[in-house]
Amino acid sequence: MAAEIHRSGTDPTRSPVAVTGATGKQGGATARRLLAGGRPVRALVRDKTTPAAAALADAGAELALADFDEPSSLAPALEGTSALFAVPPVAYGPTGSNPDLEFARGRALADAAVAAGVRHVVFTGVASTSGAAFAASGKRRIEQYLRERIPLVTVLRPVRFMTNYLAASGVGLDGFVDGLHRHIFPPNEPAQMIALEDIAEFAALAFEQPDRFAGRTLELAGDDPTPAEAVAAISAATGVTLRYEQLSHDEAAALTPEIAEIRQRWITGQRWRADIEALRVIHPGLRTLADWLSEAGAAALRARLLGTPPR
């Protein structure tokens, strides 16, 4: 890398990082973290006029119009960047995720990155398990496609987000409805989780130290309470009485067959397997659920649960 900098006369670590999904969860957290660290960010968005896009621009990001379903828009949006944070756009059909469409979008992004001369990609997908990956065949194909075409690739595989507890009620999974949180996980068995801010920290480390992290795959988690413990902690932090309940097989199947299949795999022992202590060596500030709640999570949850604006 040093020789490359010397030959070109430019430092790729100071050029803009293109960020997809910048108006969403992982992309938004990563864009904000990079900007806070002084790294220029080009946020790829479909609409520059949305509140989320405007907030990014106010924070210092450059906005570029791009649409995964219009591949010709991608290379121009990436022109002049040397690095890319890639969040695969979620693709769903009537029975759940659509891995073929997801891969087609990821392939279009990878091809555009090659055309634009991008040399470093941090790709974020989904955590692997002790068995088959959960709803991740499209993401795994994108990972491989990127590795075959981009010189420096770091793969992040996060588990469930702590912010999922903030999901809008009434969707049947995640969030709280009348004080009840329901999910596929057994109530008294550990289930790993991660703060979005920590995904952003690992992405920033990969961009700051490409030689250290290129070629690596990091399974990401920051804590592993049981669902019952997690909801009890949220209840204590918010002052709102809450409880947890596991979805039955039929209830999961009523959402999508894919969710029912994942529930069954989990019950048979297929679990996320991030090494939290090893990750803490890399990133000592790795957040627990209690950390996330004390920082901002409890206030946001209380506002959601009580229907009041956060202070």
Q: Crossing angle for the helix pair 25-36 and 196-208, nearest 10 degrees?
A: 50
Higher-confidence residue of 170 and 197: namely: 197
* CATH classification of the domain holding 241: 3.40.50.720
User: Is position 289 within any domain?
Assistant: yes
For residue 268, being part of any structural domain is answered with yes
How high is the pLDDT of residue 256?
84
**Could you tell me if residue 310 is inside a domain?**
no
Residue of higher predicted confidence among 135 and 267: 267
- Phi and psi for 242 in degrees, rounded to 5? -135, 160
Distances (CA, A) of 90 to 21, 99, 125, 183, 200: 10, 9, 10, 20, 19
In a domain, 13, yes or no: yes
Provide the pLDDT for residue 114: 96
pLDDT score recorded for residue 310: 57
Output the pLDDT for position 132.
Answer: 58
Q: How many domains does the chain have?
A: 1
* 68 inside domain: yes
Domain span including residue 42: 2-305
| 301 within some domain | yes
What single-letter amino acid sits at 17? V
Q: What is the pLDDT of residue 8?
A: 39
The model's pTM = 0.91
pLDDT digits (tens, 9 = 90+) for 213-224: 999 999 999 999
The reply to whether 311 falls in a domain is: no
Q: What is the pLDDT of residues 94-151, one digit of tens each?
A: 666 788 899 999 999 999 999 999 999 999 998 988 765 555 788 899 999 999 999 9
CB count within 10 Å of CB 121 equals 25
Q: What is the pLDDT of residue 170?
A: 56
Region 76-91: what's the mean pLDDT? 91
Q: Give yes or no for residue 253 having a pLDDT over 60.
A: yes
- For residue 2, pLDDT over 70 is answered with no
Sequence-distant (≥ 6) Cβ neighbours of residue 216 within 8 angstroms: 154, 155
Span 145-161, mean pLDDT? 96
| Span 10-64, pLDDT tens digits | 455 578 999 999 999 999 999 999 999 999 999 999 999 999 999 999 999 999 9
Please give the pLDDT value at position 4: 38
Residue 11 resides in a domain: yes
